[in-house]
Amino acid sequence: MKRTNLILISALFASGFLANAHAGVIDRATMLSNTCAGCHGTNGISNGETPSIAGLSKEFISISMRDFASGKRHSTVMQRIAKGYSDADIKAISEYFSKLPSKAPETNASDKHHGHSH
């Protein structure tokens, strides 16, 4: 009886652990990035004064975050925010936003001279 329980528990623990470890990676990036949505808009697309960050390169986002944190790049609020994240967090956040679609370029439809000039 005891022995069966132990085997069952370890089997459950092992599968649960793997499932959580996998979900944990996704959830952490999503969770960290949701914090940014308050200012940078849902999915990193802002409707206000705050710049949109969806679709920026991950290099640009991570460099910006580090430069904001160190004060190398001037900011009003980003220094305080950027300081709260580890390098691993910044990497996860940068990858998350770099994969999101950026705002559709509205100028393309009306820009008749762009591209096919002949």
The least CB distance from residue 89 to ligand HEC, in Å, is 8
| 50 touches ligand HEC by CB under 6 A | yes
Burial class (CB in 10 A: 0-12, 13-18, 19+), 65: buried
Q: In this complex, which beta carbon is closest to ligand HEC, that of residue 24 or of residue 84?
A: 84
Give which of 101, 32, 43 is closest to 65, Cα–Cα: 32
Q: Which stretch binds ligand HEC (CB under 6 A): 2-10, 19-27, 46-54, 107-115?
A: 46-54
- Binder of ligand HEC out of 29, 41, 43, 53 (CB under 6 A): 53
Contact 54, 103 (CB under 8 A): yes
